[in-house]
C-alpha cells in the first residue's frame, strides 16, 4: 500500500528537523534529496548545509569523508530508508571506521515518498534498519518512535564520543511544494569555502 | 602471474609525491601491495569500502574538506560506481582522481575479467572522463601527479588505467 500508512508512529520528519535546526548551526550537515532536503531548506538555508539531490545512498559516505578528514568538526547526516537501502554496505563501512564526530540520522518513513510514495522494504517493520546497523557493528544505535525518544537520542548522540546512528520512524508525509534556489555546483563550492573559512580560523586559534 | 612489488612501490611513491592525504579503496589482487603500503603509512588515511560507489561519496567529503584524495579500484568497481560518478561528482563538479586496475585486457587469461576489460575504455569515453594508460614505472609517478592536478583544475573525474605491463612481473 502506498504512503506506508501502516507505520505506528505519529512523528513527522519536518518536526524532527525543526527541533534539530538550532543544533545544526555549527555542524556540517549532509541531507538526502527530496522531502528531507526541502524541509531543511525551508527552515533557512545555511552555508554549512549540503543537499545531495541525487546519488541516493551516498549521503552517509559523504559524511564519512567529511568526518574523517575533519576530526574537529561535527558532522550530521540526514538520511532516509530508501537511500540507506540502496547502499546498505555503508553501515558496515561506517561501523569499521566509526568517526566519533559523525551522527547518522535515518528518517524511516517506510516509503519512497519523493518518487510516488511506494512502500519501501521497511514498511510495517518488515526490515529493521536499527537492527541492521547494530548487526553491521555501528557502535551506538538508537531507535526512536516518538519525538521525545528522538530528541533524547539526538542529545545523547551530539554529546557522545562515539559515532551514533539514530533510526527515527516517521510518517510518510512531505512538503506541499518543491523548489530550492541553489545550483548543485554552487552548493559544493559554498560548502568547500565554508569549511576552508572555519578550518583557517581554527588553525589561527591553535597556533 | 605475480603482482609487481617494485612497480607497486613506484606507484605508491608517486601517490605520496603528489601530496595525497587520504585514499579510498576496495581490495583487489593487482592493488594488494599498494593497499599494504597505504595501511602501513601513518600519514595516509585509508578507508576500505564495501562497494566502490561508496568511495565516490567519501572522495567528495574529503575534497570538500580540502584533503587531496585518491581512489583505488578495479575497473569492475569503476563500472559499479558510475551513478555516483555522474550524479554526485559530475553534477556537483567534484574532482575525482581514480587509479583503476585494468583487468580483462591484452594478455588476460581469465574469462570473467574480459568483458569488463573490453568495455572500460568505451565507457570512460562515453562519460567524457579524461584517461591515460600507465605502463612505465619510470613515468607513473608523474602521471599520478598530473592526474590529480588535472582533476582539481577541471573539477572533473579523471582516470589513470593501471595496465598489465605495469602491474605484473
Reported ipTM: the value is 0.96
For the segment B126-144, the average pLDDT, to the nearest whole number, is 98
Q: What span, in angstroms and rounded, lies between the C-alpha atoms of B35 and A64?
A: 19
Q: How confident is the model at residue A121 (pLDDT cuts 50, 70, 90)?
A: confident
- Asked if residue A201 has pLDDT above 70, the reply is no
| Chain A (128-147) residues lying within 8 Å, Cβ to Cβ, of chain B | none
- Confidence label for A40 from pLDDT (cuts 50, 70 and 90): very high
| Contact in structure between B164 and B105 (CB atoms under 8 Å) | yes
Q: Provide the pLDDT for residue A6.
A: 47
**b/e map A137-165, b = 16+ CB within 10 Å:** ebbbbbbbbebebbeebbeebeeeeebbb
Output the nine-digit C-alpha cell for A115.
518518487
A52: cell is 545531495
Answer whether residue B124 shows pLDDT above 80: yes
Q: Which residue range(s) make up the domain with B160?
A: 5-167
Grid cell, residue B163, equals: 595496465
Contact B61 A185 (CB under 8 A): no
**Three-class SS of chain B:** CCECHHHHHHHHHHHHHCCCCEEEECCCHHHHHHHHHHHCCCCCEEEECCCHHHHHHHHHHHHHCCCCEEEEEEHHHHHHCHHHHHHHHHHHCCCEEEEEECCCCCCCCCHHHHHHHHHHHHHHHHHCCCEEEECCCCCHHHHHHHHHHHHHHHCCEEEEEECHHHHEC
Q: Is A9 on the interface with B (CB under 8 A)?
A: no
pLDDT in tens, B7-53: 999 999 999 999 999 999 999 999 999 999 999 999 999 999 999 99
Query: In this predicted structure, what is the pLDDT of residue A165?
Result: 98
Beta bridge partners of B1: none
Q: Scanning every residue of chain B, which has its alpha carbon at the shortest distance from the alpha carbon of A67?
A: B61
Chain A contacts of B47, Cβ < 8 Å? 64-65, 68, 93, 97
Q: What local confidence, expressed as pLDDT, does residue A115 receive?
A: 74
Q: Which residue of B has its CA nearest to A72?
A: B65
Chain B residues touching A199 at Cβ < 8 A = 66
Pairing state between β A28-31 and A111-112: unpaired
Among chain A residues, the shortest Cα distance to B64 is held by: A192
Task: Tell me the percentage of chain A whose pLDDT exceeds 70.
Answer: 92
Rg, Å, chain A Cα set: 16
d(CA B145, CA A101): 31
Angle between helices B5-17 and B32-39 (to 10 degrees): 50
CATH number assigned to the domain with residue range A2-206, chosen from the 4 options 1.10.1060.10, 3.40.50.970, 3.90.79.10, 3.40.50.720: 3.40.50.970
* Domain total in chain B: 1
Give φ, ψ of B133 to 5 degrees.
-95, 140
Partners of A198 on chain B (C-beta within 8 Å) are: none
How far does Cα A64 stand from its chain's mean position?
A: 12
State the CATH number of the domain containing residue B82.
3.40.50.970
Name the residue ranges covered by the structural domains of chain A.
2-206
Amino acid at each position: 500500500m502506498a504512503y506506508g500508512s501502516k507505520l505506528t508512529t505519529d512523528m513527522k520528519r519536518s518536526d524532527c528537523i525543526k527541533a534539530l535546526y538550532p543544533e545544526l548551526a555549527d555542524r556540517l550537515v549532509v541531507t538526502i534529496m527530496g522531502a528531507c532536503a526541502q524541509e531543511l531548506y525551508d527552515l533557512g538555508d545555511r552555508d554549512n548545509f549540503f543537499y545531495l539531490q541525487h546519488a541516493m545512498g551516498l549521503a552517509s559516505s559523504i559524511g564519512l569523508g567529511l568526518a574523517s578528514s575533519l576530526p574537529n568538526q561535527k558532522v550530521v547526516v540526514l538520511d532516509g530508508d530508501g537511500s540507506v537501502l540502496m547502499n546498505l554496505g555503508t553501515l558496515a563501512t561506517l561501523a569499521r571506521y566509526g568517526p566519533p564526530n559523525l551522527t547518522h540520522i535515518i528518517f524511516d518513513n517506510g516509503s519512497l515518498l519523493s518518487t510516488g510514495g511506494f512502500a519501501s522494504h521497511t514498511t510495517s517493520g518488515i526490515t529493521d534498519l536499527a537492527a541492521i546497523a547494530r548487526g553491521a557493528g555501528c557502535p551506538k544505535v538508537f531507535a526512536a518512535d516518538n519525538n521525545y525518544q528522538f530528541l533524547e537520542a539526538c542529545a545523547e548522540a551530539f554529546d557522545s564520543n562515539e559515532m551514533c546512528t539514530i533510526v527515527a520512524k516517521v510518517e510518510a508525509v512531505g512538503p506541499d511544494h518543491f523548489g530550492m534556489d541553489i545550483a548543485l555546483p554552487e552548493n559544493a563550492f559554498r560548502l568547500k569555502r565554508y569549511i576552508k573559512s572555519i578550518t583557517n580560523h581554527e588553525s589561527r586559534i591553535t597556533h | 602471474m605475480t603482482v609487481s612489488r617494485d612497480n607497486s612501490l613506484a606507484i605508491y611513491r608517486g601517490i605520496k609525491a603528489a601530496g595525497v592525504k587520504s585514499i579510498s579503496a576496495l581490495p583487489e589482487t593487482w592493488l594488494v601491495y599498494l593497499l599494504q603500503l597505504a595501511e602501513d603509512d601513518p600519514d595516509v588515511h585509508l578507508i576500505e569500502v564495501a562497494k566502490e560507489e561508496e568511495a565516490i561519496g567519501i572522495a567528495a567529503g574529503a575534497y570538500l574538506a580540502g584533503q587531496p584524495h585518491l581512489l583505488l579500484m578495479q575497473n569492475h568497481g569503476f563500472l559499479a560506481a558510475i551513478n555516483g560518478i555522474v550524479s554526485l561528482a559530475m553534477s556537483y563538479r567534484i574532482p575525482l582522481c581514480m587509479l583503476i586496475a585494468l583487468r580483462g585486457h591484452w594478455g588476460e587469461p581469465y574469462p570473467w575479467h574480459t568483458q569488463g576489460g573490453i568495455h572500460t575504455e568505451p565507457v570512460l569515453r562515453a562519460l567524457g572522463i579524461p584517461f591515460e594508460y600507465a605502463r612505465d614505472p619510470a613515468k607513473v609517478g608523474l602521471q599520478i601527479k598530473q592526474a590529480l592536478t588535472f582533476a582539481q583544475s577541471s573539477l572533473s573525474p579523471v582516470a589513470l588505467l593501471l595496465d598489465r605491463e605495469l602491474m605484473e612481473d
